[in-house]
């Protein structure tokens, strides 16, 4: 049974992801306005929350045999990642002012993850690592992930590639959620508005302190901010799920895959078409342009999802269903007790 608060929190996270990509593209043409500062400020919110929510849903999968994990999850993720990297690369090559190495970049997507689609690749890797480390003590795996996250977030270590750095930075949140899922899924639905408000205020205050007074690059600061953001984001998911008028946010949370893989098309197209144009934008144009482009990207993704899902396979799922279908695993019979009792 789907938990509505998880879907609502996922809906919030995917909106923030699309908003961020709208900001960085419109910033290239001077149309990001005040959204630019906000989008980068929320760097400690959107992806920690997205990966944490993915980790919450992982324990049942990680308990299955490796061949089932590879077949039902990793095969699907890698297929979709490669497919949409190819489609996006071809699409951007047709746009004016396309990246000079756009086609070559598609050939390197397993070495240099795509800046728009890297989440799918990282999720596949996290799933594999989660399965391989499933028998290790939770404190060891979570502690290791925390240290890795802290050193990458502080800039003490870097791969030189932004998606790879983010992969190492956010691994902690997936691991933590996958190990603490039962407790989290028991406690979070009982949150009340004052809990959520308190967590939200704490996140804003601590974030503001380290951004404007101290330095958010101090080691362990960003993971700490991410934990506050995750707690507040999960609480917001609970609050949103309780408000019928916000049911559309929950719906977005059930359609995160099509939104994620499609949204870069209209966003990059808008930036490409506006690049090089000598336009004197009126005051406040950026204030409207970012949310408008975010809305357009999400609506187009949902429209494509509605048009394709259930009619054409291989676009938002693996083309051969039986290859990735979950199978009931035969359970060994319980040992017989005394007198043949079972």
- Model pLDDT, residue 2: 76
Of 158, 135, 7, which is closest to residue 62 (Cα–Cα)? 135
The structural domains of the chain, with segments of one domain joined by +, span 4-324
Taking each helix axis from N to C end, the angle separating 162-187 and 46-56, rounded to the nearest 10 degrees, works out to 60
Q: With contact defined as beta carbons under 8 Å apart, do 241 and 5 qualify? A: yes
Give the pLDDT of residue 274.
Answer: 92
Q: Give residue 103's pLDDT.
A: 65
At residue 201, the pLDDT reads: 96
pLDDT of residue 9: 98
Provide the pLDDT for residue 337. 45
The pLDDT tens digits for 44-89 are 999 999 999 999 999 999 999 999 999 999 999 999 999 999 999 9
3-state secondary structure of 311: coil
**Under-50 pLDDT residues of the chain:** 331-342
Helix-strand-coil split of the chain, %, nearest 5: 70, 0, 30
pLDDT at 305: 97
| Res 133: pLDDT | 98
């Amino acid at each position: 049974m789907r938990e509505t608060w998880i879907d609502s929190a996922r809906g919030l996270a995917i909106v923030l992801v699309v908003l961020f990509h709208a900001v960085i593209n419109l910033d290239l043409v001077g149309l990001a306005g005040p959204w630019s500062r906000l989008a980068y400020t929320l760097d400690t919110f959107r992806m920690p929350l997205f990966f944490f929510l993915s980790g919450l849903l992982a324990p049942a999968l990680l308990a299955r045999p490796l061949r089932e994990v590879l077949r039902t999850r990793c095969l699907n993720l890698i297929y979709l990642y490669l497919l949409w990297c190819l489609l996006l690369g071809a699409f951007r090559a047709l746009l004016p002012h396309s990246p000079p190495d756009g086609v070559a970049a598609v050939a390197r997507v397993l070495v240099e993850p795509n800046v728009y689609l890297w989440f799918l690749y990282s999720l596949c890797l996290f799933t594999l690592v989660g399965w391989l480390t499933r028998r290790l003590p939770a404190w060891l795996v979570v502690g290791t992930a925390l240290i890795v996250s802290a050193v990458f977030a502080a800039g003490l270590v870097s791969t030189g590639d932004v998606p790879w750095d983010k992969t190492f930075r956010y691994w902690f949140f997936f691991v933590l959620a996958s190990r603490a899922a039962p407790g989290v899924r028991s406690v979070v639905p009982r949150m009340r508005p004052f809990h959520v408000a308190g967590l939200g205020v704490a996140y804003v205050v601590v974030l503001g302190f380290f951004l404007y007074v101290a330095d958010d690059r101090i080691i362990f600061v960003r993971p700490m901010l991410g934990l506050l953001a995750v707690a507040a984001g999960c609480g917001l998911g609970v609050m949103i799920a309780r408000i019928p008028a916000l049911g559309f946010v929950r719906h977005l949370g059930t359609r995160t895959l099509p939104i994620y893989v499609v949204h870069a098309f209209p966003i990059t197209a808008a930036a490409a078409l506006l690049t090089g144009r000598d336009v004197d934008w009126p005051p406040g144009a950026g204030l409207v342009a970012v949310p408008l482009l975010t809305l357009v990207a999400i609506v187009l993704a949902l429209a494509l999802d509605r048009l394709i899902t259930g009619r054409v396979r291989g676009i938002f799922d693996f083309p051969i269903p039986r290859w990735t279908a979950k199978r009931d695993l035969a359970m060994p019979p319980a040992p017989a007790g005394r007198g043949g009792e079972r």
